[in-house]
Structure 1
């Protein structure tokens, strides 16, 4: 380099002007320009044209001069619209001219002037830096396929030679500065240099510093040109971005943001590879290391040169900034700018958690979504939890939160991901990425409960670390877990503000199974001084140590943090509706219902619930609270079952029409449905609801018997039409009912629990059947006969009453002998709910003449069916058409087929029996401890608990039953009360109910019974 300085041309302006005229035929005024080793002049012709005349250093090898000439010529031929210098030929048509001075040959090159202001003299906006990236990308793309021997020269400025800086460290006087450079050199040697030979290489500009880049004077967001190709060479492609970013970051408040803007623009024109972007941070640093060490070396051999030292001070400042950064975070920002995941697998982690959320175990004692919850808005300066003391934390945080819970009924406080928080005032929250910026965006999920609240891992894990962070406003006890579920990249979870007890219980390497205890929420004196809570955070970058994981981040990079540290709400079991509330408020809906709908349309609960989503066994309200649904048996195989949704959508998107046209589905469904029945029941008809099915059954009965006389059970309910209301004592004997019609004959409910004590248990069926015999005898005495007997196979509204053994056999025999038919209403109890059989009537060992179905048949879709014998079907075929526009349509039948597929494919009958037995065992255990439980009854997932005030008299405990149902609702479990006295707890959960669901129901009932009975005294 010293030889190059000695041979720098020193022509006067007049001499240069003469050379310009002699070789290029151009007249103009010349203005000298700064240059390190050549001599440059700006040429103004006076005709509006400008050029640069370069007199090349005489020591420059001819091959290098030829290389630059060939490069400019290639660019002109392949990207003539690019704003870069373009060659102007000599008078003889050559690309270069030559002149000799003091025995030294100097080459002459004339190129077009590129207008603009150096980027160094602008504010380097994001738009300008993005434009620079695009310009460099276009230029490098234009050089694809170009090669020249001169491009293979050996330069210290070649990024591949950055390691040579180690040999210049001795010229850096300050030991701390030398140590700083050594840290970057060590990283380069360890993780960068071995990977450089495997990267793409091409001819690049190699020196897009902010003096070689020009900005449009009229549009400061647009790069108007790139100049000076003296350092161009064959090098890794990513070096182009690194060099431009290194210079753009000088004195920039956000150097990584500047680099990201350049990388984003470059990537748009010349797509980068992930392995290239992963080295970008280190290459930026190494360009600066090269710069400051070369400068230090030159100062040691020559007098100070202002041109050489112009960027040294800001280069040192930037190196110190980079040294303070976590390279992983900087790289994540750069990857995001190029459209890559911030860390490989980040999207897959978030997707896996979302797809597998149903299998994750509760983080708290019960699913988090079941607690009454509220936001704890640290970002709201008016909220009592945010009133800060001098040290930056809330005054008496624990008592403030506990008082808030007492006054609002909240059990779980939630501090959301991404919230802007003003309480982070300590030095630890100053950004290391952006000058004069604080980290204010919360990157974890806070769950506030009482100190000592246990928290469990929803997923199996290995303990990565357990440590105590003692700093004020720190984490207190901090635990990191590593999760490696099948089909998912590994990820970390961070558990902060825990009690210190975990330190003696857990150590790195320990294995925790799903559901295992992680720790307890710590009190303020051991959790950093905060209100008791858990800071839960996910890190998709498993290389980060627990203390390196950012709990709070910069707002500018929130999209980056969202991938690195995704919202843990789903992992913790928080429903999305907790954050995203929409629709009309409760009060408005109630008011408009009163104005627009029938006034006697009932609403459940004193404080109505607005449900907005159903999923499996859960119903989620508009505030994100999840309720375990043990009551709404319409969704037989669970709310929004994917198989049903998919079948419905697929068929609805193809065809839906009526039964006057041929279609496979109705035949296929009839085949599948009748196959579940005794062989005598072989003919099906389809409708839209249980009421329609029961009405059709009555038409079949009339056509076959010609008789209207009905025998029904007391307190029965069969549907909404008037003829069914007339058959439903539950309706016609209550307020608004018109009383019993002459053709309706009501038999006593065959309830063994309330049978006379003198009756032997084995005779209950026969004794209750005698009541039906009396009704038939009375009809015959009047010269009449029963047309039919209609009963639910397990009376539901009557209080989950299980018929005594032999009852239906006796009744069916008597009714048939009198000329009537027997109708089994399986609307609520069919489709395998009892577990032991497909149909509840099978438990009585009978075969009805007609079976009606509704509700569960379509898992919430309006579908119902009637199945009967061929003999009755023939009687109905009397010339009058049966037609139901939507009954049996292709969509409904597709849904029905899907329901059957799920019941059979997932063996839900066995599940109903197993889980039902588990629940019955638990209920009977509770019965031993609670005198108020008079009777426990059930089969499969059709269950009842009758509450009494006196076991001896079996007097109903109606108020306690209602209190238990409401208490369960308050604890997030839905059940009903039924029976003539509303004293039977009624439970009909979906067939997919699991043991975990059952145990949750048991725990809530235990807690509720304890609370209700304690209050009752």
Structure 2
């Protein structure tokens, strides 16, 4: 071991046979085998047994011979199934002996069992074979963890820690380029590997798992049947075992890193690698090759006349040059994924963090990409027009093709998805360095097609790492690399390609950009490699210093690796998952199925119906991934799918969900909590499922307690969908399909300040409406039809978002009670803090109803409704007839209700409603000043009505115009509705989580929609 070219022993076959028989008592046929330092013979004994007879190099110290022998004995004891040779002792029980050579030198002799098989050098290196090789080496190194021997500690050129010795051989490498290549490998070893090796696990390893030292079943490969020749065994870093085996297996492989990955995966399954070992493995492969080629170079100098040596070392040089073109981080990632690990430590955390925090990121484009109409373009097809046209330089054709796509699909943003396999990457630099003959064709970023000059903004605070221009055809053009660290220990980068050159030059390396800051503009054809104007946005999970070496396109074979090193940037870009993941039926077929299976009088909203697939806070997301600002659906009181409410429901569902005939805490906890929000007089509760049930029960209570059927309502009121409630809802019985006013229903005019008679002074409107109502109640009493109940929304909603004038409700309540009736406040839509300054809208009028009904918002969409009533009324209602509602007050619904109350309090949503409501009302009144068709703006908290008229003087209803405004707003990404007797009032009831940025969007869209429709 101490001399690489020490003369081999020179025993003849006859001499070796004689020594074999004399020492071991074995006779048979001897066949010489190749060996670099020792002399080996295959022995076939007379009885058919086969052995390897080794005559050890005389320069080999006896401790080394004893070490190798002890090693094999240890393996036999610890893991007897490992396919390694077994020691055959002498008849006297000695594991080895000695003989004198022709020159008087003393040689150690050892006999071991013969292992059948084909050398791997003469067989196929299938992935299974390579994986099994790794498995065998892992088992061996595990077995040797408990083995030690003085002979294991020695230094020689092939031990990985002796790589620096190769510098002394550099002068023998004649080619300057190759010499620089080896120097680079040695420099990397000195700077990065040598310091790391001091901290890595060490043990005794085989150290020479080359193709001739490995046996398989036959020429087609298969499991490893033998690992032979422990002559290079040494105490060394464990990872060197793998590096050496990989270096040999990678020689001449079409996909060398995949070959190494198979070995590493097998090894890791038996003896798991540590993180630091993964980090140096590929550097050690290169280092082993550097040792090999440098040693070969010294032999060239001594035997230059032998050209065969150039041929034998060619695969090593080829692999060394190839490794220089392969990013070590990517190669290491391939190895890690083969072992079932993350492509790099912690990379999955990036995707998890972005998914959890995507709602807090600043928009990359304005308007926010989530709000824009999007279309995922098929750029993987050979017929895809955009890349072909632009790559060929036919910019006009590319523009026409893109315009046709926009017209056909009606989108603002075109998107090229992450992970798409494409045929358009034809430039030479798209050839694969990892796989022979392959091209890189898997897109590793997100393409966002928008006009040249479109400004881009960073979603997170960033530092500029690189700013460059790559002008070659099909290259990036302007290119930026930004680094982000949103929380300690989570650092990643983003690559921004195809940018305007001037804006890239504005950026400085090291520059800090706050979240939302301008980054750059999109470049045109001449600036971005000839492509149709677009952004290539790519997440980079492992930091780089040089943006030019980050691959934007990868090989399909390593899709799983790319997905972690360069994960999909959809969350970072602000694109909802639904943009790329479609499910269920398309809109047309879904609409047809509804018509076929559901009742024909079930309506849909908007001229072009929407298919919603997800709700998130103030947003509803449709099947194309477009997010609509929901300013209409007041059921989601604290925002769609509020995590606190979802969690409460999820935790309760698997525990208990039953009816109120059994005792459970939740219904009592909920009603006790709800009672704290109401006047003390309203101290008794019935818990139900829907607002209609609540109003039906309230009506039944009033009729039972007063023994009267007559009910007083406001004109155009709507209270629910049961027949009993339709009968007291003018909005239903007076419109198409209605049967007209029932005899027991009596209407009061809606006290609408905007449409009050022109002669009424503003200060007297409430009093005059109240006087008329009191007179009507008096006539009813005189006619023997005194009302059993007066039911009214505190803010009549479907009547047109009417805010009752001051004093009106107090006077009517007093008159009804004086006539012996009960007062019911329908707070289904307007209660629960929506008005901002109070929990209940009736509080603003200084009244306390006898009965309050609530529904819709109190469960945030979960079926939950409540009737709150004075105790004496509940007791009078308890006339012997049981009231039972199967699922009213079930534990799951009550858990949802408690969560809603928690959110209202903890997120201070009432003050928020007051603040945003004031801001919105001011903005809407400015719109009114600019647009004569806006006759009136009214609102409080987060409850608004905008009444549109054809003429302010006559106040002629503009129902068609209101519908057009609402549909235009829907096109612009904001959902609103219409109400009022003539559907001319734009109705706005956003979730209580509405913030200033949402208010600004609403005002902008309202202004644009009104301008587009009304001029």
Name the TM-score, length of structure 1 as normaliser. Answer: 0.97
Post-superposition offset of 1:310:
7.0
Q: Aligned with 1:484: secondary structure?
A: strand
| 1:446 corresponds to | 447
- Structure 1 CA distance for aligned equivalents of residues 736 and 743 of structure 2: 19
More displaced stretch, 265-274 vs 380-389? 380-389
Post-superposition offset of 1:143:
0.8
| 2:106 corresponds to | 105
- Structure 1 CA distance for aligned equivalents of residues 488 and 694 of structure 2: 46
CA contact (8 A) 2:124 2:220 kept: no
CA distance 1:391–1:182, change in 2 (3 Å) = farther
| 1:514 corresponds to | 515
- Structure 2 CA distance for aligned equivalents of residues 210 and 1007 of structure 1: 74
- Structure 2 CA distance for aligned equivalents of residues 27 and 451 of structure 1: 86
| 1:876 corresponds to | 877
Post-superposition offset of 1:336:
2.6
Q: 1:498-555: per-residue Cα shift (whole Å, max 9, x none)?
A: 2223135322222222222112222212222111111111111123422222111111
Q: 1:960-1015: per-residue Cα shift (whole Å, max 9, x none)?
A: 2111111111122111111111111111111111212222222222222232235x
| 1:69 corresponds to | 69
CA distance 1:5–1:40, change in 2 (3 Å) = same
- Structure 2 CA distance for aligned equivalents of residues 390 and 198 of structure 1: 51
More displaced stretch, 214-223 vs 799-808? 214-223
CA contact (8 A) 1:462 1:509 kept: yes
| 1:43 corresponds to | 43
Post-superposition offset of 1:558:
1.5
CA distance 1:311–1:130, change in 2 (3 Å) = farther
Q: Aligned with 2:486: secondary structure?
A: coil
CA contact (8 A) 1:388 1:423 kept: no
What does 1:238-257 align with in structure 2 at a 5 Å threshold? 238-257=239-258
Q: Aligned with 2:378: secondary structure?
A: coil
CA distance 1:389–1:914, change in 2 (3 Å) = closer
Is residue 640 of structure 2 the alignment partner of residue 639 of structure 1? Answer: yes
Deviation above 3 Å: which 4+ runs of structure 1? Answer: 1-7, 301-311, 386-396
Post-superposition offset of 1:39:
0.8
| 1:127 corresponds to | 128
| 1:788 corresponds to | 789
| 1:674 corresponds to | 675
Post-superposition offset of 1:2:
9.3
Q: Aligned with 1:222: secondary structure?
A: strand
Post-superposition offset of 1:584:
2.3
More displaced stretch, 684-693 vs 500-509? 500-509
CA contact (8 A) 1:4 1:59 kept: no
| 2:29 corresponds to | 29
- Structure 1 CA distance for aligned equivalents of residues 357 and 136 of structure 2: 45
CA contact (8 A) 1:456 1:517 kept: yes
Q: 1:799-855: per-residue Cα shift (whole Å, max 9, x none)?
A: 111111111011111111111111000001111111110011111111111000000
Post-superposition offset of 1:46:
5.5
Post-superposition offset of 1:128:
1.6
CA contact (8 A) 1:793 1:826 kept: yes
Post-superposition offset of 1:429:
0.7
More displaced stretch, 649-658 vs 684-693? 649-658
Post-superposition offset of 1:302:
5.1
More displaced stretch, 558-567 vs 494-503? 494-503
| 2:826 corresponds to | 825
What does 1:786-935 align with in structure 2 at a 5 Å threshold? 786-935=787-936
| 1:80 corresponds to | 80
Figure out how many residues of one structure are paired with residues of the other and give that number. 1014
Post-superposition offset of 1:359:
0.7
CA contact (8 A) 1:611 1:620 kept: yes
CA contact (8 A) 1:140 1:204 kept: yes
CA contact (8 A) 1:745 1:775 kept: no
| 1:345 corresponds to | 346
Structure 2 residues without counterparts, runs of 5 or longer: none
- Structure 2 CA distance for aligned equivalents of residues 891 and 4 of structure 1: 79
- Structure 2 CA distance for aligned equivalents of residues 1001 and 390 of structure 1: 41
CA contact (8 A) 2:391 2:530 kept: no
Post-superposition offset of 1:304:
6.8
| 1:570 corresponds to | 571
| 1:336 corresponds to | 337
Q: 1:241-269: per-residue Cα shift (whole Å, max 9, x none)?
A: 00001111111121112111111111100
- Structure 2 CA distance for aligned equivalents of residues 254 and 1013 of structure 1: 66
More displaced stretch, 566-575 vs 595-604? 595-604
- Structure 2 CA distance for aligned equivalents of residues 812 and 219 of structure 1: 96
Post-superposition offset of 1:585:
2.8
CA contact (8 A) 1:88 1:95 kept: yes
Q: 1:354-376: per-residue Cα shift (whole Å, max 9, x none)?
A: 10011112211122122221112
- Structure 2 CA distance for aligned equivalents of residues 277 and 1000 of structure 1: 50
Q: 1:223-281: per-residue Cα shift (whole Å, max 9, x none)?
A: 22211100000000000000001111111121112111111111100111000110011
- Structure 2 CA distance for aligned equivalents of residues 745 and 46 of structure 1: 120
CA distance 1:606–1:390, change in 2 (3 Å) = closer
| 2:95 corresponds to | 95
Q: 1:907-960: per-residue Cα shift (whole Å, max 9, x none)?
A: 111111111122112111222212221111111111121111111111122222
- Structure 1 CA distance for aligned equivalents of residues 395 and 54 of structure 2: 67
| 1:613 corresponds to | 614
Cα RMSD (Å): 1.8
CA contact (8 A) 2:961 2:1013 kept: yes
- Structure 2 CA distance for aligned equivalents of residues 1002 and 510 of structure 1: 35
Name the TM-score, length of structure 2 as normaliser. Answer: 0.97
More displaced stretch, 504-513 vs 615-624? 504-513
| 1:166 corresponds to | 167
CA contact (8 A) 1:352 1:488 kept: no
Post-superposition offset of 1:4:
6.9
| 2:629 corresponds to | 628
